[in-house]
Structure 1
Amino acid sequence: MASVKIGVDVGGTFTDLVLEKSAAGADGRTVFVHKVPSTPADQSIGVVNGILAICAHAGVDPADVDLVVHGTTVATNITIEQNGAEVGMLTTRGFRDLLHIARHKRPHNFSLHFDVPWQSNPLVKRRNRLPITERIMPPDGRVETPIDLDEVRASARQLKANGVEAVIVCFLFSFLNDAHEKAALEIVREEMPDAFVSGSSEVANVIREFERFSTTAMNAYVGPRTARYLNNLESRLKREGMDAELRIMQSNGGIGTVATCSERPVTILMSGPAGGVIGGRWAGAMSDVDNVITIDIGGTSADIGVIADGQIRIMNPRDTVVASHPVLAPMLDLDTIGAGGGSIAFRDDGGLFRVGPRSAGASPGPACYGNGGTEPTVTDAHVVLGRLDPERFLGGDMSIDPELARKAVQEKIATPFGMTLEQAALGIVTIVNSNMALAIRSNSVARGFDPRRFSLMPFGGAGPLHGVALAEAVSAKDVIVPPAPGITAAMGLLATRMAYEFTRSTPTLLNGPAPSDFALANATLAELTALAAERLSADGIDPAQHQFERVAECRYQGQGFELRAPLDGTLSAEIADDVVATFHGVHERDYGYRFDDAIVEIVTLRVIGFAEVAPLQWPELADAASADISGALLYTRPTTFDDGKTVTTPRYDRDKLFAGHVVPGPAIIIQHNSTTLVPPGYTARVTKSSNIIIAREG
């Protein structure tokens, strides 16, 4: 029986889709890719339009689709646009201003003129932060002051009268004893049945009250709109006759259900970029490459990730900040900078030549789009340099005007800086490449990874135009261009697993003169494992398919933050020694030093429950009948490369290149969703897996 799966990734300009149709037999898999314009006002419109379009393209009845996996920026956009819900908060008496005070950390240490975002744009306004008489005490979670439930009820009624859409309950030390939070939540849900309600012990059951409160506040801030969007999308699909399972990409690289992600939308704040890293690992594995630096270059931003030994890195909790607010939700380790095809080049007030982070976006877009844009962008620069051909843009589906690109670059850059048109266009490309190279180095070299051991994988609509220049700048060993670069993030959605994470702070000394009894830690692990199994079972996953990964977040005793170390099974003296040894190694890699004689403690235990999903299988390419690539030649045109030389450059149709073909530079390889630049002195080799590997000749 045939199976149909669709991955949908929403970007600022385009919504990318991939459909895999599989029938019985090893050769029964077919993959289709597609792009449609995004609909920023309501992403679900573009998503449904795209799904119907790719189904028509693939000859599939929408009713036959089994699974839709969606990467969305809805929650992220709410934080950027600062248009989330009005949130109310119940908290321990005396700690009403904790979200305002934070940690007294200055955003910019040496500036007298700076904004404090958690004060100027609070997730919860002070008038909606109400104190409750109660107190739980460490280290055992004993009740010092019983909770005043009458206060809770009165406060809930006050918040309802204030018109808040969401309510959070955040009490001190609830990670040790959540009885007070549960009692308060029950009353709030009774008094405000239509509100979005969550407690800190449900969202982030970990130590550090400010970060825990902030995470819970962010969950409520994005919660109502995100839940409405996900439920609206599910309803739209059903109205179109689709009864497919809808899954959402989470920030940790796993996929979850609509119900789970609606309840805890804080887990999908990085849903959009996560698919790209997963897709990068998938494409690298097809060529047996485990060390990959991914750079996903779209219209507005570039997302950079590092995959070492086939493992995707999870960000350190101290760095998981969204819109300047700490969020203790597991996120893939990504850096995002304002650099993309739509990044605007300009002369700043000090007379300097700058590119980005301001973007032309989808509307009006680059000047060459002819939609009223007059600012020169990176895309316009590539058009001026002859790297993007008007009649082949998006496979000919979108027309662009090179004269508008030349006019914008000439008037806004070349004339003000006294440059020729080509010098100005090259300057735009050089500056944006420099910005991206700096970000790549900060995510690799500064984290203990040597780019010389890694392949650079550029994707996104603009990625392969910049791949070789970026690889040169960071000394990567080669460049891998995946089969459908513009759709790689969507492909990642069909190459991941279902996964849920559960955490609890359980301080445990692993070594030293008086190591802890491991009974409490093992009891926590057992309880978290049971919670993960319960969630997977609720999603219809057979218990035989349940898998569990256990992680200890450790630090040297007295340190401020933790690093992750895998924990194999339950804790014992032998396992504790393994965790300590692993932690020393991770600490040395991240910080450059280690203290082998220091006491190591676990602060937080984490259990990831997951179930593998059959990954996307891209069809292998047929072997080339000969080394002759003339059958793929489209035409030749003058093209200017980074050295400033303009040479006649052949264009090749990627769909007509087969396994074993070698394309010498200079060359441009064109496909519907992206364009790959092969400079002089480089060759592009087409592999059986459909990847193109670009390296220096010889």
Structure 2
Amino acid sequence: MKRLGVDVGGTFTDLIYVDDEAGKILIHKLPSTPDDPSRGTIEGIKQLTEQAEVVPGDLDQVFHGTTIATNIVIEHNGAKVGMITTEGYRDILHIARHKKPMNFSNYQDLPWQAYPLARRRYRLTVPERVTGDGEILVPLDEDRAREQVLKLKEAGVEAIAVCFLFSFLKPDHEQRVAEIIREEFPEAFLSVSSDVLPQYREYERFSTVALNAYVGPKVATYVRRLEDELRALNVRTGVHLMTSGSGVSTAQGAIDRPVNLLMSGPVAGVVGGIWVGKSAGFDSVITLDVGGTSADIGLAQGGHLRMKHLLDTRVGPYQAMIPMVDVDTIGAGGGSIAYVDGGGIFRSGPRSAGAQPGPAAYDRGGTEPTSTDAMVNLGWLLPEDFLGGAMTLKPELARTAFEPVAEKLGMTVEEASMGAVQIASHSMVQSIEENSVRKGFDPRDFALVAEGGAGPAFAAHIAIEVGTPAVVVPPFPGVTAALGLLVTDEVYEYVTTTYQRLSALNASELEARYVELEQQAAKQLADDGIAPENQVIQRLADCRYLGQGYELRIEVGSGDLDAAWSEDVASKFHDAHEKEYSRRFEDSDIEIPNIRVRGIGLIPSLEMPEVEKGGASAEAALRHERDAWFPIDGKLQQVPTRFYAREALLAGNTIEGPAVVNQYDSTTVIPPGLKAEIDRYGNIVIRVDASAQTDIISTAATTGS
């Protein structure tokens, strides 16, 4: 099977090609095309398939991770959205939950009001009302609904969100309005809450469905254009896109529910990091994916993805109540711009040079100092070896960019450059601590998987500070997110609200609701061409103690919904609650407000080939020995540093820092006092245990003399 993964980032588009039968793996990077990300994607596919000596039509699978939906939300450039809702509920999106970002400020702008998903003039109401018991209290006024649709059409909206009260219990009114919209305004993108999110919680449902409409037209246009261009290349398979919940969906699934693509790219990096960690013998990993614009941090204990609570799944200021892997994204990357603010404080990011104009050393018109320029000044990046020699950096431009900052701070250019790297590193350390220590996890129990073009350059210094005992640098760190696309399964999740208590369980009703969701999941997988033997259907339930306002999701069995089933659900929930909140209340009744079904289409596993074995010496891979700058014993010093070629390293080779390993898609920095070993799959494993810390101290003592 020939498969290809494409991950589009803010600076580079990363691609990986795998031929399972030939045991062939190739990677490729090219600058992203922010004006139209599909251009870079298609061009990358053409170039990589040519490199693999195949044609695009030979590909069996194409997987894609993209930040297009996320960028639309962050940049506030989505569609002009209209909304049709129940009379009296026009301002739910404006009021939200009466929570202000700064509790005691009377002058703050509320971001969801300053940048509304649907402006008030385009939020229209119709007479209708369904009660909390699912009974029709006020019939739908179809004539009024038709009038409102025509008003929105005349106003020039591009998308319409339909959100009625309690439609998750009885969707008839919403579905009838959807029919009217298709009759009167078929060109509008349609987002109907009973299709997108048939789940209780009023504001969160309205916000999610409005977000779906807000990103829908641009995402649909992008995905359709990408599909058309792939067909023009005779690619037999349709494109599959990574979702925020860690699965992949078809192009049509992404077009119907584009809100599920939010956080698509960062999630792929976590999935790839888990796979890499297991190959190196580490089940529990913290993933550090540093690109040109941002750094994504994820945590997986025992190789299991952590999912965000559905009330914490925000994108920018907006609530998006969709399944989302717990990934933290911060503005720290290779293109992060270093500057001195108005108060004289030295800062780095979140503003980035991006793909255009890029860091100053790229010589593409960028003049501001970035983290990449800092590493050039420190001697960590060799100008002639960047991107495997595909790009030659201009060190004089990097130095010129940092001179004004250094002058303001009264530092040398090298000191200012090290400061920029340390500030960016500290931002990542803080994020790792927030995602580990503050959530009850000890970083010393995890390995740090370094990903992205810049992750391996930062990782060892970060690991020393947070205490992770090892850093794992994959064979292709710059395209690990793209690799993650090839090692995940196709996943769809369906949810419905059903108020049940374990003490008074209506087993027949609950079973019927589960079967209904399972049928939807099975149909979707069948439509995607997944064979029955490769389909897995999982049942889940959102559970909470009676009187609680928030739920935890747990996986439940698919057997008879009898007393044994209830006991098993209760036991799993008690354990999950104790793990999350350090408390269990076994005398309390348990509520099930929502049930879920995950339809999983199993994708063939990926086998990473083993690299050739060698001895402990890595001399055959040594290419240069030059001076580079490192902090030693609290002082920045210039020390002899060895530079190795990644492709020449063999399994069993060991490297002592200070050292730098160059390769096409990334650069790995091994600080003084640390040691690294190449494992059988070609991973660089840098040990940062107690003995390594001792080595750092002794090295610092001798080098600093």
The one of 589, 593, 612 aligned to 2:602: 612
Distance 2:358 2:644 in 1: 27
Corresponding residue number in structure 2 for 1:171: 164
Deviates more, 1:140-149 or 1:233-242: 233-242
In structure 1, the gaps of 5 or more residues are none
The one-letter amino acid of 1:255's match is V
3-state SS, counterpart of residue 647 of structure 1: strand
The one-letter amino acid of 1:638's match is D
Distance 2:170 2:281 in 1: 48
Deviations along 1:327-384, one digit per CA (max 9) or x if unpaired, are: 1111111000000011111111111111111111112211212222222111111111
Corresponding residue number in structure 1 for 2:173: 180
Q: What aligned pairs does 1:409-428 form with structure 2 within 5 A after superposition?
A: 409-412=402-405, 414-428=406-420
The one-letter amino acid of 1:689's match is Y
Q: Specify whether residues 113 and 458 from structure 1 end up closer, same or farther in structure 2 by C-alpha distance, changes over 3 A only.
A: farther
Corresponding residue number in structure 2 for 1:517: 506
The normalised TM-score by structure 1 is 0.96
> What's the CA shift for 1:516?
3.0
The one-letter amino acid of 2:537's match is F
Corresponding residue number in structure 1 for 2:573: 583
The one-letter amino acid of 1:345's match is A
Deviations along 1:474-498, one digit per CA (max 9) or x if unpaired, are: 1112111111000101111111111
Q: What aligned pairs does 1:632-651 form with structure 2 within 5 A after superposition?
A: 632-643=621-632, 644-651=636-643
Distance 2:528 2:325 in 1: 23
The one of 278, 290, 294 aligned to 1:297: 290
The one of 642, 667, 671 aligned to 1:675: 667
Are 1:491 and 1:616, in contact at CA under 8 Å, matched by a contact in 2? no
Distance 2:580 2:423 in 1: 29
Distance 2:407 2:577 in 1: 51
The one-letter amino acid of 1:647's match is V
The one of 512, 517, 529 aligned to 1:528: 517
3-state SS, counterpart of residue 462 of structure 2: helix
2:563 is the alignment partner of 1:573: yes
Deviations along 1:674-693, one digit per CA (max 9) or x if unpaired, are: 01111122111101112111
Distance 1:410 1:110 in 2: 41
Distance 1:468 1:494 in 2: 27
2:523 is the alignment partner of 1:543: no
Q: What aligned pairs does 1:234-313 form with structure 2 within 5 A after superposition?
A: 234-313=227-306
Corresponding residue number in structure 2 for 1:315: 308
Corresponding residue number in structure 1 for 2:144: 151
Are 1:20 and 1:32, in contact at CA under 8 Å, matched by a contact in 2? yes
> What's the CA shift for 1:557?
2.1
Are 1:250 and 1:268, in contact at CA under 8 Å, matched by a contact in 2? yes
Distance 1:419 1:97 in 2: 54
> What's the CA shift for 1:152?
1.2
The one-letter amino acid of 2:162's match is V
Q: What aligned pairs does 1:119-518 form with structure 2 within 5 A after superposition?
A: 119-138=113-132, 140-412=133-405, 414-510=406-502, 514-518=503-507
Are 1:355 and 1:431, in contact at CA under 8 Å, matched by a contact in 2? yes
Distance 1:113 1:295 in 2: 37
The one-letter amino acid of 2:542's match is E
Corresponding residue number in structure 1 for 2:646: 654
RMSD in angstroms over aligned alpha carbons?
1.4
The one-letter amino acid of 1:526's match is V
> What's the CA shift for 1:595?
3.1
Identity of aligned residues (%): 48
Deviations along 1:504-546, one digit per CA (max 9) or x if unpaired, are: 1112222xxx433333222221111111011111111122221
Distance 1:627 1:543 in 2: 48
> What's the CA shift for 1:551?
1.6
In structure 2, the gaps of 5 or more residues are 693-705
Are 1:508 and 1:518, in contact at CA under 8 Å, matched by a contact in 2? no
Give the total of aligned pairs.
686
The one-letter amino acid of 2:117's match is L
2:30 is the alignment partner of 1:36: yes
> What's the CA shift for 1:151?
1.1
2:5 is the alignment partner of 1:12: no
The one-letter amino acid of 1:378's match is S
The one of 539, 542, 553 aligned to 1:553: 542
Deviations along 1:91-142, one digit per CA (max 9) or x if unpaired, are: 111101111111111122133332212211111111111111111101x301
> What's the CA shift for 1:215?
0.6
3-state SS, counterpart of residue 289 of structure 1: coil
Are 2:20 and 2:607, in contact at CA under 8 Å, matched by a contact in 1? no
The one of 614, 618, 621 aligned to 2:611: 621
Distance 1:449 1:288 in 2: 19
Distance 2:213 2:490 in 1: 24
Corresponding residue number in structure 2 for 1:64: 58
Distance 2:646 2:70 in 1: 35
Q: Specify whether residues 592 and 426 from structure 1 end up closer, same or farther in structure 2 by C-alpha distance, changes over 3 A only.
A: farther
The one-letter amino acid of 2:662's match is I
The one-letter amino acid of 1:617's match is E
Are 1:88 and 1:164, in contact at CA under 8 Å, matched by a contact in 2? yes
Corresponding residue number in structure 2 for 1:52: 46
The normalised TM-score by structure 2 is 0.95
Distance 2:422 2:573 in 1: 40
Deviates more, 1:568-577 or 1:43-52: 568-577
3-state SS, counterpart of residue 637 of structure 1: strand
Are 1:66 and 1:245, in contact at CA under 8 Å, matched by a contact in 2? no
Corresponding residue number in structure 2 for 1:114: 108
Deviates more, 1:515-524 or 1:393-402: 515-524
Distance 2:577 2:469 in 1: 26
Deviates more, 1:595-604 or 1:544-553: 595-604
Deviations along 1:626-674, one digit per CA (max 9) or x if unpaired, are: 3332110001011112322321011111111111111112211111110
> What's the CA shift for 1:53?
0.1
Distance 2:33 2:346 in 1: 33
The one-letter amino acid of 1:618's match is M
The one-letter amino acid of 1:455's match is A
Distance 1:507 1:301 in 2: 41
Distance 1:241 1:427 in 2: 50
Distance 2:655 2:533 in 1: 48
Distance 1:154 1:286 in 2: 60
The one-letter amino acid of 2:294's match is S
Are 2:238 and 2:251, in contact at CA under 8 Å, matched by a contact in 1? no
The one-letter amino acid of 1:15's match is T
Are 2:20 and 2:606, in contact at CA under 8 Å, matched by a contact in 1? no
> What's the CA shift for 1:602?
1.6
